[in-house]
Structure 1
Amino acid sequence: MTKELQIGQMENVAALSNLSVQHPQLAIAETPFLLIDLERTERNISAMAQAAAQNGVQLRPHLKTHKMPRIAQMQLHHGASGITAAKVSEAEIMVEHGILDIFIAYPLVTPSKVRRAIALTSRARIIVGVDSIAGAGILEEIAQECDVVLEVRLEIDTGLKRSGARAADIMPIAQFIAHCPHLQLGGIFTFRGALLNGEGTLDVQSAGRDEGLTMVRIADMLREAGHDIRDVSVGSTPTGTYAAAVPGVTEIRPGTYVFQDRMQVEFGGCMLDDCAGCVAVTVVSCPQDDIIIVDGGSKAFATDVQPNTPPLLLQGFGHIMEAPEAVLERLSEEHGTIRITAGHSFKVGDRLHIIPNHICSTLNLYNKAWLVQSDCAVHVPIEARGHSW
């Protein structure tokens, strides 16, 4: 169809598993393919925007989940202040498509990447992350070379133990940045996710509140030392709304909420009916009464959220909509093995729709996605897919 998808004018569509029946294009589309329900997507976008507004904080969603400028535009349409990227290449794609307020929430330490980020500042507001004196020194050197003042935020490790300044290093790094004439420290940020006291947790309310309180204390400490900390940026999809309720938090950066996934359902932040993305697969073999083989394996579903790992203890790699009791228990490269109750009615050639455990890294396996809105289905590129440099 040539009908345009209209941002902000979505109508109800049927359940994800029925879309192939409604849309002839999908009925003949080759599997496995990624399917996105835009009505659910907009509903999710609107709900998070309302939660941020009600708490008086800015919403700067992470594009890692969708990697599509058109979805970013939907988020801005609903009140997002800007977007968040992890890599310069993602930011470049977004600027090319008119997204002009981007936080690269990642330490930039390669001179070529710093120069690319600085090149974007002539067309957009670009903020970059920093988490060390060494990293700040590189940013200062390149910014001086380019004769610009670069807006930066200091990343804080609040327990996830990846990038981010540890407690003892926060003040020395901030003081070093303060003496860099080409760097402007505007705020602090963290990503902790559903973590509490160093462990994964289902108590996302306590986790979010603790994250917010920790970051506000650090911001106050830095302000007392004379640093102008305006932005206190926190929050993942499961914890963001709870962190947003902490006085002093100014911004949240959730990503997965835009499509939701099985992981978020288990965290209790959404229902299966809120999941806007699924993978369509075809049954290619029924070798045993209790086994179905589909044409989607590890090249169709992300494997970073493994089954039977705490705190979620998910069974299998996704929720099979046509057979909720079945388990997608094993993935090889091109085969998905589903264990199902003997006596099932599925046969070779049938199509199944599976909500992945983790939609973000699943989407990054596809060059294109089918976007569905009302009576319109279009196959569109995922412009920033694979942009990891």
Structure 2
Amino acid sequence: MTEQMQTYGQLVGNDSPPLDIPEAETPYVLVDERRVDRNLDTMAEAAKRCGVSLRPHIKTHKMPYFAQKQVDRGAVGITVAKVSEAEVMVRSGIKDVFIAYPIVVPSKIRRIIALTEQARVIVGVDSQEGAAILEQVAGEAETTLEVRLEVDTGLRRSGVRASDLAAVASFIGACTHLRLTGIYTFRGAMLNGEATDDLKAAGLEEGQIMVKHAETLREAGHDIRDVSVGSSPTGIYAAAVEGVTEIRPGTYIFNDRMQFHFRVAAQRDCAALIVATVVSCPHPDLIVIDGGSKAFATDVQPNTAPLYMKGFGHILESPEAILERLSEEHGVIRLKEGHTFQIGDRLHIIPNHICSSLNLYNSLWLVGTQPPRQLEISARGHSW
């Protein structure tokens, strides 16, 4: 394989840096900063064309370094899921954070209140019970929290049902220490309640549902300023719906195998790879790498709707090979007999889902605009 492993450009484009970092121990995450910058510019320009605000979710990169890049390109702020993620970002200078998650634990709410002394912090809520807890803790602190009401638009996860929307909004509106300024949803690639690859239809439906809900709440007297929607696959389509004010894509910064199978990104737009070493060649049609379920996320299983991808990642050196099995520390790759891979070869793999995969690592290696350097993934593992 030595003759196949010269430059990154030979595999995925001539604009790319050297393929490998010899001092980096495998498995490791390799990120091409030039591709990152192009992806950020593309999304920022698309949001601007649609006349909507961009508030990217940091779940993908979990790093203030990249969050600041997004803000520098016009993002109004960032989105997080956890209070601890917000703390990392605010400590690093990010001044506008939306916690898109129902926060119901008093200790966490008090931490949010402390953050509001340094930044604008918006909090998600999806129930009367949750709103009552926010109201009580904010009242004890003699402060007011800005909140957005989450709406379930078909994912059947968190979010208030449409039939309960008016009642929950009215409850929040009556709270002295809560200020309802918007509604939000996350649905992803869903259409009519099912997974879909018709991203345009899914995004348009998501936007239309949310705009209709916002209009209903305004008619009831609520000051709904923000209608926040959208994932990386559907965000731009939802943004085209008049009345949508904000999109919250996350994966677009790096992209992954899902994104190029959804056809919202090309393989050359995938900025993050997992580099692994071949540690065993036990059978003519199998090789084993030093990355298993502790190196590659398993939340996007092979052969599931709507994409039906084979295996857990796309192997650049051998696109027809299948990373078919993961145990904790072993990745088993099936390929044709007669392959030329050898023990010690390094493979470069685009994971099915980069967000969950990145959270398995403490750091990444960044290349492309400066000499290779290792950066800490500061909010990695921050799940509280």
Q: Same fold (TM over 0.5)?
A: yes
- Indicate yes or no: 2:83 matched with 1:88: yes
Q: Could you tell me which amino acid in structure 2 is paired with residue 206 of structure 1?
A: A
> Where does the alignment leave 5 or more consecutive residues of structure 2 unmatched?
1-7
In structure 1, the residue corresponding to 2:365 is in which secondary structure? strand
Partner residue in 2 for 1:295: 290
Residue pair 1:16, 1:37 contacting (<8 A) in 2 also: no
Change (3 A) 1:16 1:376: farther
CA offsets per residue over residues 216-266 of structure 1, 9 Å max, x none?
Answer: 000000000010000000000000000000000000000000000000111
Partner residue in 2 for 1:227: 222
- Indicate yes or no: 2:111 matched with 1:116: yes
Change (3 A) 1:182 1:15: farther
Residue pair 1:63, 1:84 contacting (<8 A) in 2 also: yes
- Indicate yes or no: 2:206 matched with 1:211: yes
Q: Could you tell me which amino acid in structure 1 is paired with residue 134 of structure 2?
A: L
Q: Could you tell me which amino acid in structure 2 is paired with residue 148 of structure 1?
A: T
169, 172, 175: which is aligned to 1:174? Answer: 169
Change (3 A) 1:288 1:25: closer
Where do residues 278-357 of structure 1 align in structure 2 (5 Å cutoff)? 278-357=273-352
In the TM superposition, residue 16 of structure 1 has moved relative to its aligned partner by 7.0
CA root-mean-square deviation: 1.5
Partner residue in 1 for 2:4: none
Q: Could you tell me which amino acid in structure 1 is paired with residue 216 of structure 2?
A: M
168, 186, 193: which is aligned to 2:188? Answer: 193
Q: Could you tell me which amino acid in structure 1 is paired with residue 86 of structure 2?
A: A
Query: For 1:75 and 1:224, how far apart are their aligned partners in 2?
Result: 35
> Where does the alignment leave 5 or more consecutive residues of structure 1 unmatched?
1-12
CA offsets per residue over residues 346-378 of structure 1, 9 Å max, x none?
Answer: 101100000000000000000000011235110
Partner residue in 1 for 2:251: 256
User: TM-score under structure 2 normalisation?
Assistant: 0.96
User: TM-score under structure 1 normalisation?
Assistant: 0.95
In the TM superposition, residue 18 of structure 1 has moved relative to its aligned partner by 9.4
CA offsets per residue over residues 298-342 of structure 1, 9 Å max, x none?
Answer: 000000000000111000000000000100000000000000111
In the TM superposition, residue 17 of structure 1 has moved relative to its aligned partner by 7.1
Query: For 2:373 and 2:10, how far apart are their aligned partners in 1?
Result: 17
Q: Which moved more, 1:33-42 or 1:369-378?
A: 369-378
Matched residues, percent identical?
Answer: 63
Q: Could you tell me which amino acid in structure 1 is paired with residue 252 of structure 2?
A: Y
Residue pair 1:16, 1:278 contacting (<8 A) in 2 also: no
In structure 2, the residue corresponding to 1:380 is in which secondary structure? strand
Q: Could you tell me which amino acid in structure 1 is paired with residue 64 of structure 2?
A: P
Residue pair 2:138, 2:144 contacting (<8 A) in 1 also: yes
Change (3 A) 1:269 1:17: closer
Report how many aligned residue pairs link the two structures: 376
Q: Could you tell me which amino acid in structure 1 is paired with residue 277 of structure 2?
A: T
Query: For 1:271 and 1:146, how far apart are their aligned partners in 2?
Result: 49
In structure 1, the residue corresponding to 2:372 is in which secondary structure? strand
176, 179, 186: which is aligned to 1:184? Answer: 179
65, 70, 91: which is aligned to 1:70? Answer: 65
Query: For 1:23 and 1:262, how far apart are their aligned partners in 2?
Result: 22
